[in-house]
Structure 1
Amino acid sequence: MTLAFRLTAAALSGLLALPLPVQAQQQLPEQLQSGPASEVPVATQVMRWRMNDADVNSFAFRNMDQLFTTRTVAHSGAPWALPKVERPMDFTYAFGGKTWTAEQALERTYTNALLIMKDGRIVTEIYRNGSNERTRFMGWSMTKSLTSTLVGAALADGLISSLDDQIVRYLPELKGSGYDGVTIRQILQMRSGVDYEERYDFANPGIAASNHINALVKNVARFADVARTIKRKSKPGEVFAYKTIDTAVLGWLIERVSGGSVAAYTARKLWEPLGTEADGFYIMDGRPGTGREFSGAGFNATLRDWARFGQMMLDGGMANGKRIISEEWVKAAQAPAGPEDGPEGGYGYQWWTMAKSPAYSAIGLQGQYVYVDPASRTVVVKLSYFPPAEGSVGQETMAFLAAASAWKPAP
């Protein structure tokens, strides 16, 4: 052993003998420090709090099973084969006074994955940012369109007598709340009239932001339970006001009338007969035994399975030769209940409808789309990671989706 080594070892030994400074523990954001204590680890709460942020959402939106308790929606049997005849995306779209190529849209509109189907055939399938065909992507509010389909299935099964039944017939816990006197149809159309502003200003949290914190970040409440005490803002049926609590109530309805979990009904009535190739899953608002599926915005699936859902709608409720949902339901779901003058168009049964077009779309937070155009027999699934302040990227994406729908690939 050399003298130099002995000196270095001695010095190191002396350093190790010194007391190490105590490292500060990770702290909860101020907005999470008040209210009931949570059993969710601090690091997990912080990541849930930040999952929508622009510097992490590309990863978070495809790894939600690492952040939440989940409930599996199992696939079963041979998958519905989707023929593939890939073609280069040789179309352009106009936005902001300029013409852009389809390839430019991938980065310009924060794309994680993209699939375009023409008349039941995949012509484009692209995975980016480390995702692949096995990745399960968070649908956010595309889940609302799936929940709507489950309501249609429950109606067909006779578990719901009529969409014009009042919700309290099935959920008597809502008597005396703003939902008392509201029909299932009015909830499907986001015309419940309850006082729940879909605003997520976490610096000054209102009812929606507080519900997000307590149910999804801290897991100290069930997301749908706020419906028990919610007030009324407008007469049921008169005013369209988009609110996730409405869909959460529909999920609660499915749970009640089916006698099981939302996930189990989803598997039985949709995911298995649809011929999906992978399990889907819901994120939960609590531990097993207490938590519920986040039926308003919490479903996750692969790119191709989201496409199968869209193709089923395009085919009038049929999938791989099997009837999944009635053609009458598909038509009713895509029929706007009011004027199509909003930024996303109009609204049917939890589907957005496009103005001056037969196209309609499931749309999720920060850039998730299952876009269906019966006129061109096109389904486009775009799974994105928009920044929270979306700016004009949503408008540009709609221009891209319309162009993709009009695109006629070479034979």
Structure 2
Amino acid sequence: MKKLINLGAAAMTVVMLNITTAGAQQRLPDEIAKGKPSVVPIATQILRWHMNDGDVNAFAFRNMDELFTIRTVPHSGAAWVLPRQDHKLDFSYEFNGKTFIAEEFLERSYTNAFLVMKNGKIVTEIYRNNSDASTRFMGWSMTKSITAMLVGAAVADGYIASIDDPVVKYLPELKKGGYREVTLRQILEMRSGVDYEERYDFANPGIAASNHINALVKNVARFADAGLDIGTAAKPGEVFAYKTIDTAILGWVIERVTGGTVAAYTTEKLWEPLGAEADGFYIMDGKPGVGREFSGAGFNATLRDWARFGQMLVNEGTVDGRQVVNSDWIKTARTPVGSEAGPEGGYGFQFWTREGSEAYKALGLQGQYVYVDPDTQTVMVKLSYFPPADDTPYAETEAFFGALTNWVPK
């Protein structure tokens, strides 16, 4: 018996040695390992590398403050009270020739949290997958719509003389690259013409994928700095091409003209006046003193605070009778420029528009939505975990929008 125990102890020692060795041999994927070394712990880099994967994104998208250095956007004072009149989702919708009841939509479309407002009242608020009212969800490119509101505020405050100014008036560092003749308006419209294909093929990384790796995974570069020596792909103003670098440049402009941080200006011009009930935060592309807020896709907030943002838009910029954002700026931001934007709809100032409707939306990677329909006074917030490279949930969500807009709770 003693011999067996000793053998068991020896076997356990071998197992422990193997675990220790395996831990010591933890390796970065080749795409991350090459290039400039990072001080970010290897385990954290690997988690960031996998955060969009379909088997972990339901969790990662609501715990970004555990993965990144963040800069807080604090709330202050009394929250904007959102009255409620709860109703079941008692309607159906059509998709791909089949009829589904509305409640099926949440599971079918990978939903973490879901809220609907009608005529200024919350009628549905649902949390799933162990999330709750305190959970702060990653907005991804819904952040672009936040940044557009900050640009409007900077114009109103006189920090920006005109959106028809060339961006180099505010960021002369860009004179050597493709932004040298681009205006702020053209950047807002995603018509900068700079050579930055929004494609994330990490096996063969181009400029966008490499920028993601260096700025967000490794924190060895600032995301917006890719604009310093970027090339030109089209004449500014002529071609719509969606690219996160454009919005990152707008965030850099906000930082430069205000003399502070993007987070501080978000707090002053949006989050406090909005009456947010919880702190928001931006993920950073580096530590404080070095990093910047990821103004193209890095803002996080609670479900209800995303809804407050949407209701402010429906109210043409007002909150409890106070003008928070200039109403003319919102009208311009939600007006599509041209008609060739893409399958998601038209595009205004960092908002997607809906063809044949006054509805528009802030839209983020893998199913983040603040959908606004002024005609029916509808706001829908959907915070999701769509699988990567699967367009089906987007198409089904668009079908659901149509039914939701026409739904009259009884």
Range into which the TM-score falls when normalised by the shorter chain = over 0.9
User: How is 1:199-348 mapped onto 2 (pairs within 5 angstroms)?
Assistant: 199-339=199-339, 342-348=342-348
Distance in 2 (alpha carbons) for counterparts of 1:407 and 1:17: 64
Structure 2: gaps (5+ residues): none
Give the letter for the 1:164 counterpart: D
Q: What residue in structure 2 maps to residue 108 of structure 1?
A: 108
Q: What's the counterpart of residue 23 of structure 1?
A: 21
CA contact (8 A) 2:143 2:297 kept: yes
Task: Report the CA distance between 1:8 and its aligned residue.
Answer: 5.9
Q: How does 1:88-107 map to 2 (within 5 A)?
A: 88-107=88-107
Which one-letter code corresponds to 2:202 in the other structure? F
Residues matched between the structures, number: 406
| Contact 1:380 1:405 survives alignment (8 Å) | no
User: Is the contact made by 1:285 and 1:291 (CA closer than 8 Å) also made in structure 2?
Assistant: yes
TM-score, with length taken from structure 2: 0.97
Q: Kindly report structure 1 stretches of 4+ aligned residues shifted beyond 2 Å.
A: 6-22
SS at match of 1:286: coil
What is the distance in 1 between the residues matched to 2:63 and 2:159? 34
Separation (CA, whole Å) in 2 of partners of 1:56 and 1:31: 20
- Residue 27 of structure 1 and its aligned partner are, at CA, apart by 1.0
CA distance, structure 1, for counterparts of residue 320 and residue 221 of structure 2: 40
In the other structure, the counterpart of 1:125 is 125
1:9-158 alignment runs, 5 A limit: 10-12=6-8, 20-21=17-18, 23-24=21-22, 25-158=25-158
Structure 1 stretch 93-102 or stretch 398-407: which is displaced more? 398-407
Is contact 1:360-1:371 (8 Å) kept?
yes
Cα deviation for residue 402 of structure 1 reads 2.1
The change in CA–CA distance for 1:259 and 1:11 in structure 2 (over 3 A counts) is same
Any conservation in 2 of the 1:340–1:355 contact (CA below 8 Å)? Answer: no
Q: Which sections of structure 1, spanning at least 5 residues, go unmatched?
A: none
CA distance in 1, matches of 2:10, 2:325: 74
Equivalents in 1 of 2:336, 2:8: separation in Å?
Answer: 73
Letter in 2 for 1:36: K
Distance 1:8 1:116, change over 3 A: same
Letter in 2 for 1:225: D
- The root-mean-square deviation of aligned C-alpha atoms, in Å, is 1.4
AA aligned to 1:213 is I
CA separation of 1:64 and 1:341: change in aligned 2, threshold 3 A: closer
Decide whether the 8 Å contact of 2:280 with 2:302 is kept in 1.
yes
**Partner-residue secondary structure (3-state), 1:20:** helix
| Displacement after TM superposition at 1:322 (Å) | 1.3
Query: SS of the residue aligned with 2:274?
Result: coil
For residues 254 and 232 of structure 1, what CA distance do their matches in structure 2 show? Answer: 23
Task: Report the Cα offset of residue 134 of structure 1.
Answer: 0.2
TM-score normalised to structure 1 length: 0.96
Q: Tell me how far apart the structure 2 counterparts of residues 229 and 122 of structure 1 sit (CA, whole Å).
A: 47
- Listed one character per residue, the Cα deviations across residues 57-89 of structure 1 (whole Å, up to 9, x for unaligned) are 000000000000000000000000000111000
Q: 2:4 and 2:227 mapped to 1: Cα distance?
A: 67
Map 1:186-205 onto structure 2 (within 5 A): 186-205=186-205
Q: How far apart, CA to CA, are the structure 2 residues paired with 1:129 and 1:298?
A: 22
